[in-house]
Structure 1
């Protein structure tokens, strides 16, 4: 390979070149040691590690790093011995070699100014590591696992119950605390720099100025913006060509008219007119040919322009993509070391390492994935004796698989551990008073697992360095959600646990549903859209001043998108309402919009930081026709809808239309006497009214809030709630206070009449004094005829 192909390295110092080589070769050493630990006698892995150690030794000698020369030489000797069968690389010996790899990494990251001081300060640790590598053949090998205990009770007190420090691991005692500190720092979004082999932090790797990555990001954003504008310009050719097509049709009609005129003149026999019409006809021919030829050219140009502009966008996006392995290369080592520190045996198997992911998404999900693995080790993975007792291999396996599926990035993390105790979650939910015992008992397994995403929800009875401190799956869930992704948990007790994460392939281009609200275009990421449909107004019901319709057997609340975004009120028109369903489970709502435009791929443009975080808005973009569009933040929308619900200020969307369609007035009769109810109902039906009945005040209050009535007729003396209380509730209700109410009572006492009218009744009639016409006349006085 030529120097040009490798790139110009002349600007780098020898120490920088050594640092690059050490970084690459130590990855080979780490991967090889982990592979060899799983597959003893892997000749290919040993050969690769021998070459890596030899390369590091030679490079270190050139830059004068004798410590690294000695470390690499000792490791090379160990690999040669292993290759010839003189040395078995047990987990304890792999620990020693990995500590040597860590030390090489630390030394390679030193700069000239700090190297001497750091080497002097850590001389003891360096000497100890060198001695351990030189005497690696003398390191005692732990015996094989003894026979299984005779009962689970004895197993609990056997070797498997020994503290982690008794596993023979050569890791420093404070490694577990360091790992836990790193986890919490990562999950909190802080920059944790934990030194694996010494309590004194090594100097940070010399890096380019922080302005360089920022400038590169700005350049990418600008490049993507230009590419997307090019695509928009290409799309704008389409309406122009459409206009030319219409011009061609009009021109064809004009040419046809000229031909008809020429034929008419020919029949007239006037030589002068015939000559002029023939001349006009001849001049139309080149015009017709010109339009035909150039229309074909324009259409071909449009196709080329669209292809080139889309190719530019694709190439710019490709610059952002990185293999999945770039974000998770340290995970196998982390799993192996942490498992040993916990007295367990576990390996991480990764599939789909070459799957391409947006570099920003890859960087942001590294901590959540890290935590999921730690969670699997600490909570789910059993000790070796417990696994053998359950008929499993002593070594547990965690699998991480990444793939593209349906245009999304799908990451699956699964383990073959004990799974999650669903009954323990159920008990914790009741103890924390998150649900009543009856409600908790009715929860499904999937619903119970959702509780693990709540802040500070832990099944650990006692906190340790890794668990029970309130830093848990809630932060994992929030981080995934911020990337427009979803995470779903599954568990099979005794068999294992699985987490399914779905993310966009990139945040730079988003597939979105474009809608119209109050005449303006808005977009919702398609991954946040549950369904799109049109709801007939006849299917809309009202309950407790909230409107809903039934979808797949569930009641789904209707919310005006214009009201949520504070764009004014919406007057629903037409027989059907265009609706977009967002949210999941019980937090699902149907957003009523003006129109559904369709799906588009949008190049996301960040909103200028000067505006801060805009409520309900996440970003902006340009549609294919160049129209600006705001991309809605669905989690924010759900919070805004909840706020409106709690305030009780949701707009009634279909009320006026339902009233217009209804031509017959409705009356609610509330009485505990079956005879009286039926008599009043028949009288009113005979006059043409629609009549519903309720058996007491409570029933009447529930019914009157769920429908639209023109009048309520109620008795006074009723069980559970009397008529006076019912009148009082109706007249105090924000939406019902104008509803006319008539009291019909056997009692003709002045105090009862006064109480009823004082409560707000519009009419008081005694049953002992009324006959058919009296009741009907009173109804007519209040609401008029049955027909609107």
Structure 2
């Protein structure tokens, strides 16, 4: 179902063979693993014989003689096993799997590369063929088809004698099957390959069609309003007719009134009929378009098995390399999953299984001592729950040694011994998700670098999912991934920010609430509120508009609409203008030419056709941390009534209390809102945290002088247009030149100005107070 559209008629034979080799190799791998786990009956072997036979015929068509030989002798092994002359134990299964790997490797190369690769590995091929010929019992070998007489490899004489490549005359070769990319499904369930680009276009068109269907609703409503006015007109006409008929009227007037009434009556009935038709059409359009959208989305859905085919083999081989025994049990293979999700979970699942094998599963001796079977079981289960995809990976190993986790936390200085001993199991397990945190003392090829579960968590978060860890000492360890069923449809909360609609994924929202202005508390230029009563968790308030660089955040007197995102120390209340509602949105990927937009993950269309950007909550949390570190977070300021004019704000920066207070009182008397700062550093923090129309600053101040402050303001991308007035005792030309060079908009000396001089300068720069 995935991949680009393909026209098999335009593909070369080698490309066709590659597709068939991959399909048959997966069938052979699954069958051999099943046999190794005890399914050695004739019914389990029969599909393997057919797969090997098909590979042999296809390899002959494309003239890959080594692949033909391998498939031929594999078929003989399966025949011998089916006849009871050969037992497929672990060692023989290893050789057969090695042959499958070699066939896949050769098929993955183009014709020239394949020949070169085979020439460089003649001895390896010969040894593998020798081992397989010996296993197949050449004296009783049965083969339906024979290979060409000309050998492609210099095999040992004993092998060539025991396994002649020409068929005896009495057993003519059967016709070779025509190569096919995969087994043909029934015609009723024929499968077409659809490219990602084609699907995205279909999804876009289906979304637009749904919007077109919703457009009927306002039209139908307008007809209803027209019907109401029509009824009022009929009522007025009837009243007029009754009035005229009650008085003296000639016969001509009566006839004309009757005729007019007869003509109007069908219009009333026709309008009602047309409205009913319009409403019925709207319902049909909505139903059909929703079905079309559902069908388009179903094109993306694939069974869970398609994404985990290679995992049983990986578990088997890695367990053997670690001296352990393990089998993978997969539950819910028919669970339908979005193909994008399926592709992205392969790496996390692989990492979790590697961790289970290396960290959790014990050696056979330890398992025997613990009263467990020597072969461990790892279980991967996929299911739908609450509109989400839940994948649980668990093992019956030793579990996580929590005492070792505590020791490692203390060793790395992450917590004191007392704190570590007081941590709960869930808190301790969270440390396993941290970067570079490992319980291994040294790194190996499998683990020990501390990047395993960290990468799993990063990928899960990137898919708007969550990860939960549980353990039971001596009984096992499990991880549960909760992911959206589809990356194409997202359930989101739509909110208005700075007059525009934005969406936040529902599964990334902690809660939504209405917060009164009286509940806001301030500390060190940050605003907070208690989430669960006065004694509840203190959550910081972050206005969404300035966070997204959309301007100031203001609110009326009736409170704030707050969307709580994040968790733990990174939980924040995002202040929005208004909550529009919860919607199911068809995700529209942004064009790659835009790259990754900060704080934005994708786009969508609302029911009325207006665009909405879907916010990337993980990005928002990073942006909040960055702005907090820079001191650039701004608070929410109340607006006194709808449409009320806001007073202009001025920041006065001066280390002299007398000068600072004189300027503040002078400006406040003229209606300005005035804040003060005691030096340049204090002023720089203030100007980044709030919005001002003007900064008035002295020059000589501790920590940061006025020239440095002016330079920083004018160099800042957000603040560079903010007017700055320097008021200083220094009135030399070179002092004025320094101020102008730094970007000051006005330079006034303290020794020469009086009240009106300062106010006139302020009015020149920003006008009156706006009161």
Distance 1:229 1:243 in 2: 22
Please say if 1:240 is aligned against 2:219: yes
1:102–1:568 Cα change, 3 Å: same
| Residue 324 (structure 1) aligned with residue 323 (structure 2) | no
Structure 2 residue aligned with 1:475:
455
Q: Do structure 1's residue 550 and structure 2's residue 547 form an aligned pair? A: no
- Residue 113 (structure 1) aligns with: 112
Partner residue, 1:408: 388
| 2-structure distance, mates of 1:40, 1:458 | 38
After superposition, give the CA deviation of every residue in 1:182-205 in whole Å (9 maximum; x if it has no partner): xxxxxxxxxxxxxxxxxxxxxxxx
Tell which deviates more after alignment, 16-25 or 251-260.
Answer: 16-25
Q: CA deviation at 1:374?
A: 0.8
Shift of 1:461: 0.6
Report the counterpart of residue 260 of structure 1 in structure 2.
239
The CA deviation at 1:348 is: 0.7
Tell me if the contact between 1:40 and 1:89 (Cα under 8 Å) persists in the aligned partners.
Answer: no
* Separation of aligned partners in 2, 1:363 and 1:116: 32
Q: Distance in 2 between matches of 1:246 and 1:579?
A: 37
Contact in 2 for aligned 1:457/1:472 (Cα 8 Å): no
User: Which deviates more, 233-242 or 277-286?
Assistant: 277-286
1:93, CA displacement in angstroms? 1.8
Distance 2:307 2:595 in 1: 30
Q: Which residue of 1 aligns with 2:607?
A: 624
Report deviation, 1:401: 1.3
1:339 aligns with 2:319: yes
What is the alpha-carbon distance in structure 1 between the residues aligned to residue 593 and residue 311 of structure 2?
39
CA 1:114/1:647 → structure 2, altered by over 3 Å: closer, same or farther? closer
Residues 294-305 of structure 1 mapped to structure 2, 5 A cutoff: 294-305=274-285
CA deviation profile, 1:247-296 (whole Å, cap 9, x unmatched): 11121122122222222223224346544443443332122112111111
| CA distance in structure 2 between the partners assigned to 1:265 and 1:106 by the alignment | 99
Tell me which residue corresponds to 1:509: 489
Change (3 A) 1:291 1:10: same
RMSD: 2.9
Task: Describe how 1:214-225 pairs up with structure 2 within 5 A.
Answer: 216-225=195-204
Which residue pairs with 2:332 in the alignment?
352
Q: Is the 8 Å Cα contact of residues 431 and 437 (structure 2) preserved in structure 1?
A: yes
Aligned twin of 1:667: none
- Which residue number corresponds to residue 290 of structure 1? 270
Offset at residue 561 of structure 1 (A): 1.3
Alpha-carbon offset, residue 649 of structure 1? 4.8
Task: Say if 1:52 and 1:577 are closer, same or farther in 2 by CA, change over 3 A.
Answer: same
Aligned runs of 1:756-775 on 2, under 5 Å? none
Residue in 2 that maps onto 1:97: 96
1:570 aligns with 2:553: yes
1:643 aligns with 2:626: yes
Choose 584-593 or 330-339, whichever is displaced more: 584-593
- The 1:340–1:541 alpha-carbon spacing in structure 2 relative to 1, beyond 3 Å, is same
CA distance in structure 2 between the aligned counterparts of 1:503 and 1:480, rounded to whole angstroms:
7
Structure 1 residue 234: Cα displacement: 1.1
CA offsets, 1:66-101, max 9 Å, x none?
Answer: 323332232233223323433322212211111111
What residue number does 1:184 align with?
none
| Aligned-partner Cα distance in 1 for 2:507–2:62 | 53
Give the superposition deviation at 1:17. Answer: 3.8
In structure 2, which of residues 420, 423, 427 is the aligned counterpart of residue 440 of structure 1?
420
Give yes or no for contact 2:556–2:639 (8 Å, CA) kept in 1: no
Aligned residues: 587
What pairs with 1:51-90 in structure 2 (closer than 5 Å)? Answer: 51-90=50-89
Alignment partner of 1:551: what SS? coil
- The whole-number CA distance in structure 1 between the counterparts of 2:589 and 2:56 is 48
Distance 1:619-1:78 versus aligned 2 partners, 3 A rule = same
Q: Give, in angstroms, the shift of residue 527 of structure 1.
A: 1.8
CA contact (8 A) 2:494 2:582 kept: yes
CA separation of 1:274/1:530 partners in 2, compared to 1, >3 Å: closer, same or farther? farther
* Paired residue secondary structure (2:589): coil
Secondary structure of 2:372's counterpart equals: coil
Asked if the contact 1:540–1:654 (Cα under 8 Å) also holds between the matched residues in 2, the reply is no
2: CA distance, partners of 1:420 / 1:400: 18
1:786 corresponds in structure 2 to: none
Match for residue 22 of structure 2? 23
8 A Cα contact 1:96 1:136, kept in partner: no
The gaps in structure 2 that reach 5 residues or longer are 1-5, 138-180, 182-191, 642-677, 687-771
Give CA deviations for 1:387-418 in whole Å, capped at 9, x if unaligned: 11112111111111112222222211111111
- Where structure 1 has 5 or more consecutive residues not aligned to the other structure, the ranges are 1-6, 139-205, 207-212, 659-727, 736-788
- Structure 2 contact 18–107 (Cα < 8 Å) conserved: yes
Distance between the aligned counterparts of 1:607 and 1:53, measured in 2?
Answer: 46
